[in-house]
Chains A and B, each alone.
Chain A
Amino acid sequence: NAGVTQTPKFQVLKTGQSMTLQCAQDMNHEYMSWYRQDPGMGLRLIHYSVGAGITDQGEVPNGYNVSRSTTEDFPLRLLSAAPSQTSVYFCASSLGTASGNTIYFGEGSWLTVV
């Protein structure tokens, strides 16, 4: 799937627990992002990064934290999980921020918060 790897694929959390979704790409892509997919909502952008050391908020950032210490990795942290964060999470990467660069997605991480 174009070299974007997400782990874990499935996770169940209790409310209030913290966890990190891992994302790694081996294509030397500058741009990485996290989306969440909810039924009937399409995908919505959580956070994105245009390069190592640079991150910014997307459309639905609350409750999530990110960092980009290397080009390859872009972990997404849930600091205190809530049932509203039950969703499917997709990590994506692209060659750069220039318009039109194709965005490749990881295989998704299914998260359930009980």
Chain B
Amino acid sequence: AQKVTQAQTEISVVEKEDVTLDCVYETRDTTYYLFWYKQPPSGELVFLIRRNSFDEQNEISGRYSWNFQKSTSSFNFTITASQVVDSAVYFCALSEDAGGSTLGRLYFGRGTQLTVWP
């Protein structure tokens, strides 16, 4: 079974619209970490955020915000007032604690392609 599900394969919005990318995860561990990465057309993976399972506070960074809800096993990502430069594939990923050592292994979702039109 997929540990991380990103149900939205593709999303298209017009510039200045708000957009939310969904991420649902599955784990039996009580300690785990969630990540979002951005992959622009140039192909590199850019780290955006890491949250641990004990911190459910939402986080805002400029136009980006993240909503972490353990009750629904979701870690959604919202871009406010989207811009053309936000066009990219966005990956959600999970790292499980596995007794204190995850071996740095990330389980990735399949990604959401976001296209922002001018």
A interface vs B, CB < 8 Å?
1-2, 31, 33, 35, 40-45, 48, 50, 56, 58, 88, 90, 92, 94, 96-108, 110
Please tell me the size bucket of the interface on B: 20 to 34
Q: Please tell me if the beta carbons of A98 and B95 are within 8 angstroms of each other in the complex.
A: no
4 tightest CB-CB pairs across the interface, nearest first?
A42-B108, A105-B45, A31-B104, A97-B101
Query: Taking the complex as formed, is B33 at the interface, i.e. its CB lies under 8 A from any CB of chain A?
Result: yes
B110 touches A40 (CB 8 A): yes
From B32, B44, B96, B101, contact of A98 by CB (8 A): B101
| B43 CB-CB contact with A under 8 Å | yes
User: With A42-B109, A107-B43 given, can you name 13 additional A-B contacts, CB distance below 8 Å?
Assistant: A40-B110, A44-B108, A88-B43, A90-B45, A92-B104, A97-B101, A97-B104, A99-B31, A100-B95, A102-B47, A103-B35, A108-B43, A108-B45
**In the complex, chain B residues whose CB is within 8 Å of the CB of A110:** 43
Which residues in window 94-113 of B have CB below 8 A to A? 95-98, 100-106, 108-111
Q: Which one of B44, B52, B96 lies within 8 Å of A105 (CB-CB)? A: B44
Contact A99 B110 (CB under 8 A): no
Instruction: Give the CA-CA distance A45 to B96 in the complex, in Å.
Output: 14
Q: Are B91 and A99 in contact (CB under 8 A)?
A: no
15 sample A-B contacts, Cβ–Cβ < 8 Å, listed by A number: A2-B47, A35-B106, A42-B110, A43-B106, A44-B108, A45-B105, A56-B103, A90-B45, A97-B103, A99-B96, A102-B47, A103-B35, A105-B37, A105-B44, A110-B43
Please report which residues of chain B, range 7-37, place their CB below 8 angstroms from some CB of chain A when the two chains form the complex.
9, 31-33, 35, 37
Q: Looking across the interface, which residue of chain B has its beta carbon closest to that of A88?
A: B43
A108 vs B42: C-alpha distance in the bound complex, in angstroms?
10
> Are B103 and A48 in touch, CB under 8 angstroms?
yes
Q: How far is the CB of B61 from chain A (nearest CB, A)?
A: 15
Q: Give Cα A22–Cα B91 distance, bound, in whole angstroms.
A: 24
Contact of A50 among B45, B97, B103, B109 (CB under 8 A): B103
Q: Which residues of B contact A103 (CB under 8 A)?
A: 35, 47, 95, 104, 106
Per-position 1/0 for B75-118, Cβ under 8 A of A: 00000000000000001010111101111111011110000000
